[in-house]
Amino acid sequence: MASSGGPEIDQLIQLLARLPGLGPRSARRAVLQLIKKKEQLMIPLSAALDRAVEAVRTCEVCGNVDTRSPCAICSDPRRGETGILVVVEDVADLWALERAGVGAVRYHVLGGVLSPLDGIGPEELLLDELIARAPEFQEVVLAVNATVEGQTTAHYITDRLGPSGIKITRLAHGVPVGGELDYLDEGTLSQALKARTAL
């Protein structure tokens, strides 16, 4: 038994416990906090979730999440002027780069990295979409994580884009080997993009 407050509370605990970073114990504490702060927290959260369920969608151009498609980034004409397309694994990485203020770039969210052992091949990612879209840009920056799978994915993209002659770069200084973009501080990320190197 998760709580002693009836099935409504138990179900809320079980759903919250499935969020990353929350286990059963922290989900119980979160629910008690929600109940204690019903007016200031539980009702606003309920309303915000309702609105998000209605409004949030995946951008059909880049894979970002937003309340419109194409997303705000894809719809911003100033973003297109630099001709730079930054390829990331996940939306969390796009958000991290935006927080770092990396400049007026566009993005392509792969939705993961190649990982044959986990059954993730090119078809599971938005790779064909990237290859189709890349010729619109002067430069493609591969901002994938510095993991084995991230680097495998970078090689795959480089091979497929090679014949097109598009300039391909990768993030350079500051990305620790084996590290994940989303954990880096904003200054490091910003520097890594500025010092990108040609592949």
Residue 181 and residue 145 in contact, taking contact as beta carbons nearer than 8 Å: yes
**Could you give the angle at the alpha carbon of 12 between the alpha carbons of 10 and 17, nearest 5°?**
95
Residue 106 and residue 59 in contact, taking contact as beta carbons nearer than 8 Å: no
Binding span for Zn ion by CB under 5 A among 26-34, 51-59, 118-126, 154-162: 51-59
Which one of 69, 75, 80, 95 is in contact with a second copy (CB under 8 A)?
95
Bridging pattern class, strands 167-170 and 197-198: antiparallel
94 binds Zn ion (CB under 5 A): no
Q: Considering beta carbons, is residue 5 or 83 the nearer one to a second copy? A: 5
44 binds a second copy (CB under 8 A): yes
Q: How far is the CB of 105 from a second copy (least distance, A)?
A: 12
* Best CA proximity match to 173, nearest among 142, 198, 194: 194
Give the tokens for residue 65. Answer: 């999440």
d(CA 48, CA 150): 34
Q: How far is the CB of 194 from a second copy (least distance, A)?
A: 20
Which one of 16, 27, 34, 59 is in contact with Zn ion (CB under 5 A)?
59
d(CA 137, CA 17): 42
Which one of 74, 91, 127, 154 is in contact with a second copy (CB under 8 A)?
91
- The SS3 of residue 152 is helix
148 binds a second copy (CB under 8 A): no
Residue 140 and residue 134 in contact, taking contact as beta carbons nearer than 8 Å: yes
Which one of 63, 64, 84, 87 is in contact with a second copy (CB under 8 A)?
64
153 binds a second copy (CB under 8 A): no
Q: Considering beta carbons, is residue 38 or 155 the nearer one to a second copy? A: 38
d(CA 102, CA 189): 8
Q: Considering beta carbons, is residue 50 or 60 the nearer one to Zn ion? A: 60
Q: Considering beta carbons, is residue 50 or 136 the nearer one to a second copy? A: 50
- 148 half-sphere exposure, CB direction, 13 A CA radius: 3
Binding site for a second copy (CB under 8 A): 1, 3-6, 8-9, 11-12, 15-16, 18-22, 25-26, 28-35, 38, 41-46, 48-53, 55-56, 58, 64-68, 71-73, 90-92, 94-95, 98-99, 182
